[in-house]
Amino acid sequence: MHGATVDGAPAAYNRAANELTLRPRDEIPDGTEFRATVTYTGVPEPLTDADGSKEGWLRTADGAVAVGEPAGSMTWFPGNNHPSDKAAYDITLTVPAGYEGISNGVRTTRRTERDGRVTTVWHEAEPMASYLATVAVGRYETGTATALGSVPVLTAAEKPVAARTAALRAEVPTILARQVELFGPYPFSAAGATVTADGPLHYALETQTRPVFPVSSFDRPTLVHEMSHQWYGDSVTPATWRDIWLNEGFATYGEWLYGERYEHVPIRTRYETAFAQDANWAFPPASPPTAENLFEPPVYQRGAMVLYKLRETVGDRLFDEILRGWPAKYRHSTATTADFTAYAESVAGRDLGALWDVWLYGDEKPARP
Ligand SMILES: [Zn+2]
């Protein structure tokens, strides 16, 4: 690290493990806005999560891809690395000649420097949690389109996988238009997808406006899932990681609903399949026992089952109001499981405690689906 300023004045700083402390020269009164600037250089590395997966800055054969759920953003930029603290982002990337840098939001600038390097500037105007920031550097082919009449779409794929992913990348505007029908207004001012060749990234992630996929995970259900997260997870973000089912249960249900509405796959079949699988019952979705369990089947599949049962209980009309009203009420904000259950009950006009007790918090698998 080279230095820090607060409101332009040099600030003392101290770094201990993952914590960076700035000490401004002058005291900042409570409630006052201030600007902190941290100047640093470094060679970023990945980190290993409690469940053994790698995240953060992942090196590829000739570049890198950075993903940050839940903790990896701190491997490449300093920030208050908590899902409840969001900010707008401007990211500028300068990469070697022949390479492209890809990030979140709208690409406002792309220029070739005198030495042949390529600089791009990315603007994410809407609030973003640090875990949703992304960067990809490599030999990418990009494609652009417009969705919803005015939203710029930019997709990118590493050149060896560009041709075989082009058709699905071109579906982004159609999927987005359909999801607006299902979920309500799109919360962001850019969209797209980034597809890497298979390498160190083993899973797709809903990085804001531009989810990232290893090519082996780039299929329509996964694209629909990660795009569903733009409403459920990226715009309405869990207040704590224990509330992660608000991301994964909803995005999984988003896949089911898309299948029901647009692909003639009965949602009852999806639900019964999920109900039958023992792995989905290892723990209740609203209380994953440890950090190792955040991304396990009950969070996804049983989380989606909660929404299926909610729809069965309140009926299609009220359920639709809840599904669309939730991301409207908490747009660009954060929420807890208790916020959701209270919201659903307020729309339904009745207590739903029995439903939550069994499906959201219960340890026992119900006798019948
Ligand atoms: Zn997901």
Question: DSSP secondary structure string, 32-95?
Answer: ----EEEE------EEE-TTS-EEEEEE-SSSEEEE-TTTGGGGTS-S---TT-EEEEEEEEEE
C-alpha of residue 252 to centroid of ligand 1, in Å: 7
C-alpha of residue 111 to centroid of ligand 1, in Å: 34
Q: Are 254 and 262 in contact (CB under 8 A)?
A: no
Closest by CA position to 247, among listed 307, 191, 203, 177 = 307
Q: What is the pLDDT of residue 187?
A: 98
Q: How far is CA 116 from CA 122, 138, 198, 232, in A?
A: 20, 15, 28, 40
C-alpha of residue 258 to centroid of ligand 1, in Å: 15
- φ/ψ of 30, rounded to 5, equals -50, 135
d(Cα 42, Cα 72) in Å, to the nearest integer?
15
Between strands 36-39 and 19-23, the pairing is unpaired
C-alpha of residue 125 to centroid of ligand 1, in Å: 23
C-alpha of residue 281 to centroid of ligand 1, in Å: 18
C-alpha of residue 327 to centroid of ligand 1, in Å: 16
C-alpha of residue 223 to centroid of ligand 1, in Å: 10
- Tell me the pLDDT tens digit for each residue of 160-214: 999 999 999 999 999 999 999 999 999 999 999 999 999 999 999 999 999 999 9
CA 317 to chain centre: 28
State which residues have CB under 5 angstroms from ligand 1, the bound ion: 248, 251
Here the tokens at position 280 are 């989905």
- Tell me the pLDDT tens digit for each residue of 307-353: 999 999 999 999 999 999 999 999 999 999 999 999 999 999 999 99
C-alpha of residue 256 to centroid of ligand 1, in Å: 13
- Tell me the pLDDT tens digit for each residue of 261-283: 999 999 999 999 999 999 999 99
Q: What is the pLDDT of residue 53?
A: 87
C-alpha of residue 200 to centroid of ligand 1, in Å: 19
Name the fold adopted by 236-360. Answer: Neutral Protease; domain 2 (1.10.390)
Q: How far is CA 223 from CA 44, 167, 176, 213, 230, in A?
A: 28, 12, 10, 8, 11
CA 366 to chain centre: 31
d(Cα 223, Cα 206) in Å, to the nearest integer?
9
Which residues on neighbouring strands pair with residue 349, listed in sequence order? none
Q: What is the pLDDT of residue 123?
A: 98
pLDDT band at 29 (very low <50, low <70, confident <90, very high): very high
Look at residue 335 and give its three-state secondary structure.
strand
Are 46-74+81-219 and 236-360 equal in CATH topology? no
Number of residues assigned to the chain = 369
Cα angle for residues 228, 234, 235 (degrees, 5° grid): 95
- Averaged pLDDT for residues 58-80: 95
- Averaged pLDDT for residues 293-318: 97
C-alpha of residue 212 to centroid of ligand 1, in Å: 12
Q: What is the pLDDT of residue 1?
A: 83
C-alpha of residue 229 to centroid of ligand 1, in Å: 7
C-alpha of residue 59 to centroid of ligand 1, in Å: 23
Q: How far is CA 328 from CA 70, 104, 232, 261, in A?
A: 24, 22, 10, 21
C-alpha of residue 191 to centroid of ligand 1, in Å: 17
Which residues on neighbouring strands pair with residue 59, listed in sequence order? 64
Look at residue 173 and give its three-state secondary structure.
helix
**Where are the chain's structural domains?**
1-41, 46-74+81-219, 236-360
d(Cα 305, Cα 100) in Å, to the nearest integer?
41
- Tell me the pLDDT tens digit for each residue of 97-142: 999 999 999 999 999 999 999 999 999 999 999 999 999 999 999 9
C-alpha of residue 226 to centroid of ligand 1, in Å: 6
Name the fold adopted by 46-74+81-219. Answer: Zincin-like (3.30.2010)
* Whether the predicted pLDDT of 50 surpasses 90: no
Confidence (pTM): 0.96
Look at residue 153 and give its three-state secondary structure.
strand
Specify the amino acid at residue 288.
P
